[in-house]
Each structure stands twice: as C-alpha cells, then as structure tokens.
Amino acid sequence: MTAEEAPVLELPDETIDGESPPDDVLTPADLDQIVLYTVDWSVQSILERIGESFDINPTFQRRDAWTASKKSAFIESLILGLPIPQIVLAEDKRRGRFIVLDGKQRLVTLKQFASPSLHFPEFRLRGMRFANDLEGLTFGDMQASLLGGEYADNFLTQPIRTVVVRNWGHPAVLYEVFIRLNQNSLPLSPQELRQALFPNEFTRWINSRSAKSAQLHRARRIKAEDFRMRDAEMLLRYVAWVTRFKDYRGNLRLFLDETCELGGRKWAERGFEYFEELAARCERGIDRTFEVFRDDAFLRFDGGKYNRRFNIAVFDLMAVVLGDESLADEKIRDVRVKIRTEFERLCTEDETFRTSITATTKSVTAVSERFETWASAVEEIADIDLRIKPAMELLTRVRVPATPASNLLPLEE
C-alpha cells in the first residue's frame, strides 16, 4: 500500500471541532455592538453584486465543493420557488463590501449558472426531479427557449433571504459567528474566512500555490486541491513558523491572521521569489518526511504503532525541521533510519514531547518544546546546525541568537 492509499483519518487543524476551543476569549461586551438585519435580494440583484460588493475571491472557485447534481438541485429549488437556506454576510464598511460567512457555494453556483465567466465556469442542469424540461440546459439555453424563458424569468426574480452582520468590530467576532454557523454541518476551515478577511496578494498566493502543490496533497492523502482549504492552511502555517516563530504567543488563529496581513503588506517588498522559496522548502520538507517515514509520514507514534490519523502538529514539525536548508538530501537518506527511530523513541519515552504533539496550541510551552526537542534531535543525528534553530531557542528563552534564523529575511523586518 502506498502512502497515498494508506488509510489516514482526519484530525481537524485550526478547527471548529478540533484540538481546542477558539483562542480568543470573547465577552458579552464584544457582542453588544453587533447589529443584525435581514434583506431579501432577488437573484438578479445578487448576481450584480457577486464579485463587486460581495467579495468572492475568484481563485476560490477552483476549490469547488459541489457536484453538478447538487448545483442543479439548488437552481431547481429557486426556479420552483422552494425554500433555500439563508445567506449570511458581514458588512465591512472599511472596504465597502460584504464578507460571506455562510453561503459562498450557493453564490458561486448562482454565478456559474446565470453569469458564467473564466473564473466561474458554466454548467448544465443535471438530475432535474421536477423541472424535467430543463435537463441538460444552460441558463442561456433556458432564455432562448419559449418554455425555458418563463423559468429563467422566474429564477431571476426569486428572493433570497440574507442576514447581514454589522458593527462586528473585531475579526474574532466573525470567527465566532462562522464557527456557530458550521457546528451542525460539514466542518469548514477558518482559512476560507481568512481569505475574505485579508484579500491581498499573499493570501491569493497561498491559495493558488497550495492548490497546485502535489506534496501538500500527498501529505494530506488527497488527490487534488481541497475545497475545505486545509492544504492552504498547511502552507500558511509553514510560512508563519519559519518567518515569525519568535512572535508566537499562544493564539494560533491570531498568529496566522497576522501572517496574512503582514504577508500582504510585505508582498511587493519581499517579492514573489521570496515566497516561492518558502513554498519550495515546505515541499522539500514533505518529500524528506516521506523519505524517512514512508506510509507513516505525518502520523503520531502511539502505543508501539502509528496512529492512522493525520497530525497537524507532526506536519509542522517535519516540514519546518526536515525542510531546513542546512540539511542535504543525501544526509537525510544516510540517517533516515536514525531519524525515524528517534521520533518513535521520543513519542514513547519522552512524556513532555509526547504531550506536546497532542496539546492545545494555546500552550506556548508545548509548541516551543515540540519544535525545540525535535530540532535538537535532528541536529545531533545529522551533526549539523539548523538555520531555524535559533528562532526556536528564542521562543523557549534558552538564549538570544547571534545569527539570523534563516538566510531568508524574517517576514516582519
């Protein structure tokens, strides 16, 4: 069985139902200023707003979550006037736009069907249960036919109930709303919301670069880009750790948010090549991890065997440490058995390390210890000095580094 075929369960990352509750401690006062209002926009009115005041990043469309049949069922409901779920938006007055909290796939489907473009590819209706005359038609086909024209007109005038959140104040409030909206449905990655909160060149690069990374997909045991954007979050985490390790203060969500905002501000200054080099290092770390661990890459060793559940903490460790530019591929091949054996020993005999790869990311101590312990172990086995190590030592307050953590400048400088 290959690594891609090995059964690996999902462990939510920076999650809705994962390792810990949200990092931010919100109080009732944080919610006091929120104002909710509802508006019924017609399908035609919503179509005019998508991509304008309704901010939907076109690159998101490549991570299409719905099949043609599911899209068709949604369109059929609107054509027939059947109830559909409401759309939830957050009003962002600073940018004169709306952030989509719930209903992005429905908006994407509307755009693809009734106003297709390069970024919103057209689809034909499939599996019609009631509007059988429309089977196989595009919206253009509907408008051109006598019977379909009536359906098309009815579709465009259908109202869609929309709830708008105003005066939310801080992104943490939107994350809370986002989490509650999705608690009883398919868990969605906060990375999707992050794309809306920080629409800049860096976040668009994170999205597009991760979508085409065979290594990230291999690590996740998926065959293509992930519509839940877990691959995007994996790359973002890597960039955050290797460029801003010393800035981590126990709030992972905020740490990643800050990296998105900072990456956007520094994009022109650092340049495309800077970020591409970071992605290449991440992919090198993934390749090396598979070289060492084979089918057990990015899994936790527990009770004498590897837990078949993808572990994001182990991913962070391996990608950052084994992707370090101080390591050569030849060295990895030479010492791969020792590296694997040491990881298994730490998971078995070192209680602090074992706990650190299952502990909440709120614990700065646990996060720093997992990186520091593993980096030190690899340094000793490979008989080298890792470039990333000084930043880890700064976080653990062992000593202040005299040299930079990487030959790439930290993102914040």
Domain extent at residue 90: 35-166
144/247 same-domain check: no
Indicate if 197 and 313 belong to the same structural domain.
yes
CA 45 to each of CA 79, 108, 154, 160: distance values in angstroms, whole numbers, following the listed order: 16, 14, 13, 10
Residue 400 counted as domain residue? no
From CA 232, how far away is CA 234, in angstroms rounded? 5
pLDDT band (50, 70, 90) for residue 50: confident
State residue 112's pLDDT score: 93
pLDDT digits (tens, 9 = 90+) for 322-342: 999 899 999 999 999 999 999
Confidence at 390, pLDDT banded by 50, 70, 90: low
Same domain, 118 and 210: no
**Do 127 and 262 share a structural domain?**
no
As a whole number, mean pLDDT of residues 257-273 equals: 92
Average pLDDT score over the chain: 83
Same domain, 256 and 113: no
- R_g of the chain, CA atoms, integer Å: 24
207 with 160, same domain: the answer is no
159 shares its domain with 195: no
Shared-domain flag, residues 95 and 205: no
How far apart are the C-alpha atoms of 254 and 260, rounded to whole Å? 10
- Domain presence at residue 11: no
**How does pLDDT run across 273-324, given as a tens digit for each residue?**
999 999 999 999 999 999 999 999 999 999 899 998 899 999 999 999 999 9
Residue 204 placed within a domain: yes
Helix (H, G, I), strand (E, B) or coil at 342: helix
Report how many domains make up the chain. Answer: 2
Task: Look at residue 130 and tell me whether its pLDDT is greater than 50.
Answer: yes
- What is the model's pTM? 0.69
Asked if residue 237 and residue 115 are part of one domain, the reply reads no
The answer to the question of residue 176 being in a domain is no
Task: Examine the domain organization and report whether 150 and 287 are in the same domain.
Answer: no
Q: Are residues 115 and 161 in the same domain?
A: yes
8-state DSSP, 246? G
Q: Which H/E stretch holds residue 41? A: strand 35-42
Output helix, strand, coil percentages for the chain, rounded to the nearest 5.
Answer: 55, 10, 35
